[in-house]
Amino acid sequence: MLTESQQQIIQTIVDGKKHLPGGLLPMLHDIQDALGHIPAPALGLIAQELNLSRAEVHGVVTFYHFFRHEPAGKQVVQICRAEACQSMGADKLWEHACSRLNTQGGTTADGAVTLEPVYCLGLCSSSPAMVVDEQLHARVDTVKFDRLVAATGSVA
Amino acid sequence: MSIRIFVPRDSAALALGADQVAAALDVQARQRGLDIELVRNGSRGMFWLEPLVEVQTPAGRVAYGPVAPGDVQDLLDAQFQTGAAHRLCLGLTQALTYLRQQERLTFARMGVTDPLSLADYQAHEGFAGLRRALALSPSEIVQQVLDSGLRGRGGAAFPAGIKWKTVAAASSAQKYIVCNADEGDSGTYSDRMAMEGDPFMLIEGMTIAAVATGATQGYIYIRSEYPHAIATMREAIAKASAAGFSGSNILKSGKTFHLEVRKAAGAYVCGEETAMLESIEGKRGVVRAKPPIPALKGLFGQPSVINNVITFASVPIILARGAAYYTDYGVGRSSGTLPFQLTGNIKHGGLIEKAFGITLRQLLFDFGGGSASGRPIKAVQVGGPLGAYVPERYWDVPMDYEAYAAVGVTVGHGGIVVHDDTADLSRLARYAMEFCAIESCGKCTPCRIGSTRGVEVLDRIAAGNNNAKQVELLRDLCDTMLHGSLCALGSMTPNPVLSALNHYPQDFGLAVPVAEIA
């Protein structure tokens, strides 16, 4: 179930974007920006407004890695795992992050941190790279990781 | 008069603390009563020196780097604002060897100008190409692009002029210009740099394409991982339209071209042009079978020019200075320059714009200074995650499309990822297959199922199970993917896999052929 305010936010976004050619993606981006994820009950509403089946909308939302189906943790940490970062130790950095946060990726049990892989941030000449709450960081080693993530109080 | 100090706003500089450096400069200059003007320029592309701070002096711009926020006080104490000596001083920026040895045509303004200043852009030859284009007929513009020999810089290297000609000749009430800025390949960032550091150049290139083909609407499809590029492009479009360089009645010519940024959503396959079109149309990014070609039936079923960022960005200078100027650079059928992106395990990683014909060895050692780890370089992946791993015996082959194709390598978009001798090529081959499995759009069987089977076979090889037979199976599978896939994702994933297997058999627990040892 959507809360009344969620319903209102989604309706406003849908009304504003439904006349845009190919407006579904911009719509989904706006909903995620506003609510932090795309709530499942929103799919029916969007489908109805765009004259699509709910399955079609579901298909689009689930096709793209960027869209969240659940809210993220308080802090979002993304580590690049693509080739250029791998060549400079991204795999070790990922393992370190997993052990520090006690997760294999995803949101920690206490909801404090969401750890996600990302495939290229375009910082390949200063690898390894990561994102902490939308801030980019390059040449990250385990010490820098601890400093950045501990600084926000997520690591016990 | 205030002192002009340049602190880059490029993502890579930001990731290394450029904003904190700018803030420290601002605060401390004020405390000292210094009148400074902070210009947030793009990056020069020398990333081991970022954040690279420059100071305008009567002799030219003097560079200091890499500057940490903690260095600011020390720099000001040393009077760096007058270009004074300091341990971080690199001398005049334009005299730096890394820059001096380049041939910057497309990236000429990169790091020099304020990316969002229309005045700065025009003071550095900006919109000269568009003005020239508006004085020509559409077919004359197309002819310039054809004569320049410009080929798509996204990877497939198809001649841009032929696409433009096809769209120009198509009859339709609505045509589109679509810029593919879904730069998802590891080892590439030239699109990101261009959009963040010189966005008007892309707008100008796309507007010229619109004037040449009769398109009135354009889209720039930018990956969600590039929030700074998205924000910069949106701001630049608003500024260019308000000043009449795009939008309605372009430079009072009566021509119209509206431009919109569309944010992608993290699907690698949407870098493939037809999957991208589906995505802009609001659908899953599933690849379309060709024909029909997008030049005739593209976005919303209408004739569409689709090029990547660097292709469009290469057009303004071709129009401004003429096709012959551009073809003076390069070799054979690879004319002009390519922004090579030197990345991964490399000491001096950065962007090097050079005419085609340079060798990988020159890039790796003359520019790159060898590996970052100080260990021997073992394998170099060229052309993105779907490109081959290139062993040392090919490092002296001139980089042009045909010479590289002859040794089974694609130059692609010029992305170069360096690995030292600690790299395990069987692991990288497995990664390539796994990446394809995760990112396959699912439309065609060879890619969807082949990549999953590929991971399984590579795991069996790594476990040493009946290797000769498994290798045969892997080659057969790669052959099927190569010939049976609908798009480059499935058909090119065999490149990294087979090149790793062929050139580094020892990493797969296989014997090295006698010829290789000798």
Angle at B182 between CA B412 and CA B385, to 5 degrees: 45
CATH code given to domain A75-150:
3.40.30.10
Amino acid at B240: A
A98 is in an annotated binding site: no
If asked whether residues B434 and B403 sit together in one domain, one would say no
If asked whether residues B236 and B355 sit together in one domain, one would say no
Instruction: Please tell me the total count of domains within chain B.
Output: 4
Q: Distance (Å, rounded) from C-alpha A119 to C-alpha A65? A: 11
Peptide linkage before B339 cis (omega within 30 of 0):
no
- The residue-averaged pLDDT of B171-181 equals 97
Q: Which residue has the tokens 């189906």?
A: A69
If asked whether residues B429 and B413 sit together in one domain, one would say no
Q: Give me the pLDDT at residue B514, please.
A: 58
Angle at A71 between CA A70 and CA A77, to 5 degrees: 110
Q: Give me the pLDDT at residue A151, please.
A: 60
pLDDT tens profile B32-41:
999 999 999 9
The token duo for B87 is 């341990």
Q: Distance (Å, rounded) from C-alpha A103 to C-alpha A81? A: 16
Q: Which residues of chain A are within 8 Å of residue B417 when distances are taken between CB atoms?
A: 83-84, 87, 124
Distances, alpha carbon B451 to alpha carbons A11, B218, B266, B492, in Å:
41, 35, 19, 11
Beta strands B334-335 and B330-331 are antiparallel
**Model-level pTM?**
0.97
Chain B residue at shortest CA distance from A86: B344
Angle at B440 between CA B439 and CA B442, to 5 degrees: 140
Handedness of CA B288, B293, B298, B302 (dihedral sign): negative
Residues B16/A125, Cβ–Cβ less than 8 Å: no
Confidence of residue B465 (pLDDT cuts 50, 70, 90): confident
Of B375, B393, B420, the last residue of a domain is B420
Chain A residue at shortest CA distance from B352: A125
Contact B15 A29 (CB under 8 A): no
If asked whether residues B19 and B37 sit together in one domain, one would say yes
| B338, part of any domain | yes
Contact A26 B263 (CB under 8 A): yes
Q: Which residue has the tokens 């849908």?
A: A14
Give the H/E segment covering residue B180.
Answer: strand B176-181
Q: Could you say which DSSP state residue B257 is in? A: B
Residue B308 has pLDDT above 80, yes or no: yes
| B85, part of any domain | yes
Q: Give me the pLDDT at residue B1, please.
A: 76
Q: Which residue has the tokens 């073992």?
A: B378
If asked whether residues B177 and B229 sit together in one domain, one would say yes
Q: Give me the pLDDT at residue B518, please.
A: 43
Q: Could you say which DSSP state residue B159 is in? A: B
* Closest residue by Cα to residue B464 from B410, B510, B495: B510
If asked whether residues B318 and B349 sit together in one domain, one would say no
The token duo for B230 is 């998205």
Contact A84 B187 (CB under 8 A): yes
- Here the CATH number for the domain that contains residue B292 is 3.40.50.11540
| B237, part of any domain | yes
Of B327, B350, B375, the last residue of a domain is B327
Q: Could you say which DSSP state residue B387 is in? A: S
If asked whether residues B206 and B316 sit together in one domain, one would say yes
pLDDT tens profile B72-99:
999 999 999 999 999 999 999 999 999 9
Chain B, window 170-199: residues with a beta carbon less than 8 angstroms from a chain A beta carbon? 183-189, 192
Residues A126/B47, Cβ–Cβ less than 8 Å: yes
pLDDT tens sequence for chain A (156 residues) = 899 999 999 999 999 999 999 999 999 999 999 999 999 999 999 999 999 999 999 999 999 999 999 999 999 999 999 999 999 999 999 999 999 999 999 999 999 999 999 999 999 999 999 999 999 999 999 999 999 997 655 554
Residues 6+ positions from B62 with CB-CB distance below 8 Å: B54, B55, B80, B83, B89, B90, B91, B92, B93
If asked whether residues B173 and B314 sit together in one domain, one would say yes
Q: Distance (Å, rounded) from C-alpha B351 to C-alpha A83? A: 17
Nearest CB to B186 within list A23, A119, A126 = A119
Contact A60 B282 (CB under 8 A): yes
| B474, part of any domain | yes
Give the H/E segment covering residue A136.
Answer: strand A135-137
Q: What is the CA radius of gyration of chain A?
A: 18
Please give the mean pLDDT across all residues of chain B. 97
E strands present in B254-365 = 258-263, 304-308, 330-331, 334-335, 337-344, 350-355
Q: Distance (Å, rounded) from C-alpha B497 to C-alpha B499? A: 6
Distances, alpha carbon B213 to alpha carbons A123, B143, B277, B448, in Å:
35, 12, 19, 37
Chain B residue at shortest CA distance from A118: B225
| B103, part of any domain | no
Structural domain harbouring B252: 118-327
| B112, part of any domain | no
In 3-state terms chain B splits into helix, strand, coil percentages (rounded to 5) of 45, 15, 35
| B260, part of any domain | yes
Three-state DSSP state, B494: helix
Q: Give me the pLDDT at residue B515, please.
A: 59
Check CB contact of B421 with chain A, cutoff 8 Å: no
Angle at B274 between CA B273 and CA B277, to 5 degrees: 90
Handedness of CA A59, A62, A67, A73 (dihedral sign): positive
Q: Structural domain boundaries of chain A?
A: 4-63, 75-150
If asked whether residues B63 and B122 sit together in one domain, one would say no
Contact A88 B372 (CB under 8 A): yes
If asked whether residues B512 and B436 sit together in one domain, one would say yes
Of B307, B327, B347, the last residue of a domain is B327
If asked whether residues B315 and B335 sit together in one domain, one would say no
Chain B residue at shortest CA distance from A135: B15
| B101, part of any domain | no
For residue B6, list its beta bridge partners. B39, B54
Residue B405 has pLDDT above 60, yes or no: yes
Confidence of residue B429 (pLDDT cuts 50, 70, 90): very high
Check CB contact of A53 with chain B, cutoff 8 Å: no
- The residue-averaged pLDDT of B265-286 equals 98
- Here the CATH number for the domain that contains residue B463 is 1.20.1440.230
Rounded to the nearest 10 degrees, the angle between the axes of helix A54-63 and helix A40-50 is 120
Nearest CB to B225 within list A67, A86, A121 = A121
If asked whether residues B142 and B220 sit together in one domain, one would say yes
For residue B280, list its beta bridge partners. none
Residue B183 has pLDDT above 70, yes or no: yes
Contact B47 A126 (CB under 8 A): yes
Check CB contact of B419 with chain A, cutoff 8 Å: yes
- Here the CATH number for the domain that contains residue B370 is 3.10.20.600
Rounded to the nearest 10 degrees, the angle between the axes of helix A54-63 and helix A24-35 is 70
The token duo for B153 is 């810089």
> What DSSP letter does each residue of B33-57 carry, written as one string?
T--EEEE-----SBGGG-S-EEEEE
Q: Which residues of chain A are within 8 Å of residue B267 when distances are taken between CB atoms?
A: 63-65
Beta strands B258-263 and B217-222 are parallel
